[in-house]
Amino acid sequence: MIYQELTHNVIGLCMEIHSALGPGLLESAYQECLFYKLEQNGLYVQKQKPMPVIYEEVKLDCGYRIDLLIEDKIILEIKSVEILHDVHLAQILTYLKLGNYKLGLLLNFNVAHLRDGLKRVINT
């Protein structure tokens, strides 16, 4: 599945979950629902995938974890905050760089309309 089609499907499922649950829940609730729904739709999904930091020749397990990794291609970083800040964007950019992934979706479920809480992030 190519990135555009995969992204379209994932965003559609995110919107479906947001429409059903609305804003105000914990990130973990949205993550579990998304994990279930993505798998139900036949996608390979890893939840809380460890993201080590490699410094010089040392691989350091610092406790960083990707919320959801879909088809080993797209990172989903899930938030439920009043507003997204630069630090949230920096977080997903770092995950993209460390894992050598090309595309991430930063999703803030604590909004009235999910389109207002969605950022597509590309690793250049």
> What domain range includes position 87?
3-122
Structural domains counted in the chain: 1
- Decide if pLDDT at 80 tops 70: yes
Q: Is 17 exposed, middle or buried (0-12, 13-18, 19+ CB in 10 A)?
A: buried
What is the reported pLDDT for 117?
A: 96
- Decide if pLDDT at 1 tops 70: no
Contacts of 47 (CB under 8 A, 6+ apart): 31, 35, 67, 68
What is the reported pLDDT for 57?
A: 84
Model confidence pLDDT, tens digit, residues 9-67: 999 999 999 999 999 999 999 999 999 999 999 999 999 999 888 888 888 887 789 99
Model confidence pLDDT, tens digit, residues 86-117: 999 999 999 999 899 999 999 999 999 999 99
Q: pTM of this prediction?
A: 0.92
